[in-house]
A and B are shown apart, each in its own frame.
Chain A
Amino acid sequence: MTLFEIMDILDAKCLVGRKQLNMEVETAFSADLLSDVLAFAKAGSLLLTGLTNPQIVRTASILDIAAIILVRGKIAPDETLRMADELEIPMLSTRYILFETSGRLFMNGIKGCVERVGSDTYVTL
């Protein structure tokens, strides 16, 4: 599915990356906790989050996240937008809540980048 189609499904606006809206994505990860994004999100996925600080962009860049979708109508501060522009990570904003955003994408064929975490995910001593 292209970011264009996703914008349509989510009635979203494009904050950064108008030229990259033909990008295809198939998977997503939703979280408001960057620690978990870093531990579980896969390369090439969408990141759905309500966080707006510059760390979401740096985290996305480190993980090769395809694009970021801000939920609950969030608009990121200029500093974050500048960084997304610089690191070429498209950023959309939707007014749907995280649950609705995830659900609507899922209904349209976007899958979780991991279905559930493995029992060996955690290092236990």
Chain B
Amino acid sequence: MNLSYENSFEIQGGNFKKAGDISVQIKKVLQNLGVPRAILRRVAIAVYESEINIISYANKGIIHIQVSPETVSIEAEDEGPGIENIELAMRAGYSTATDKIREMGFGAGMGIPNIINCSDTFNITSEVNKGTHLTMIIQLTNNQEEKN
């Protein structure tokens, strides 16, 4: 497999109508590149959860995706309120979601735990009143198909 792809997508905070649009696009591109189905699904979930987070909480953000023969790397970087307590945010069920977010069916506090489940490597940094930066890496070689 000769995989190579790189692109960045801008996301506007608060644009609930479009929530998930970019993730569906990215999934399609990666599918056409020939990323195996089980891995594609994990990438798509990680990107989707990141996109929903940016739309739900941040002013704006960028999702950067890079595919090499070995890995899919996703960076989700936003300008926004940041996360005050990262440990809490990583705990399943913890959420600071607004009614608007819950109305859409999200905000159950499963986003970051789910991203962690889908990623082989995960890193989060956040600064209050500045923004949040997620790094997710999913291995294409010796893949963990049983995951998710």
Q: Which residues of A line the B interface, CB within 8 A?
A: 32-39, 43, 51, 53-56, 58-59, 61-64, 87, 121-125
Contacts of A123 on B, CB cut-off 8 Å? Answer: 90-92, 112-113, 116-117
Q: Which residues of B contact A61 (CB under 8 A)?
A: 24, 27
- Name the A residues within 8 Å of B69 (CB-CB): none
A60 vs chain B, min Cβ distance (A):
10
Do residues B27 and A62 form an inter-chain contact, with CB atoms below 8 A?
Answer: yes
Q: Is B116 touching A122 in the complex (CB atoms < 8 A)?
A: no
Q: A123-B90, A123-B91 given. 6 additional CB < 8 A pairs?
A: A33-B108, A35-B107, A38-B48, A54-B17, A59-B105, A124-B92
Chain B residues within 8 Å of A, Cβ to Cβ: 17, 19-21, 23-24, 27, 37, 41, 44-45, 48-49, 87, 90-93, 104-114, 116-117
A55 touches B113 (CB 8 A): no
Shortest CB-to-CB span from B94 to chain A, Å, is 10
Q: Is the CB of A55 within 8 A of B91?
A: no
Bound CA span A123–B27, Å: 26
Tell me the complex Cα distance, A25–B46, Å: 25
Q: Check if B19 sits within 8 Å of A58, measured CB to CB.
A: yes
Assuming the contacts A59-B20, A62-B27, A122-B113, asked whether A34 and B45 have C-beta atoms less than 8 A apart, the reply is no
> Which residues of the partner chain A approach B91 to less than 8 Å between Cβ atoms?
122-125
| B37 contacts across to A, CB distance below 8 A | 43, 64
| B106 in complex: contacting residue of A35, A54, A64, CB < 8 Å | A35
A55 to chain B, nearest CB (A): 5
| CB neighbours of A124 from chain B (8 A) | 91-92
> A58: which of B24, B49, B113 is its contact (CB, 8 Å)?
B24
Whether B106 and A87, one on each chain, are in contact in the complex, defined by CB atoms closer than 8 angstroms, is no
In the complex, which residue of chain B has the Cβ closest to the Cβ of A49?
A: B105
Contacts A/B (CB < 8 Å), 12 sampled: A32-B105, A35-B107, A43-B37, A53-B104, A55-B20, A55-B105, A58-B21, A59-B48, A63-B41, A64-B37, A123-B113, A123-B116
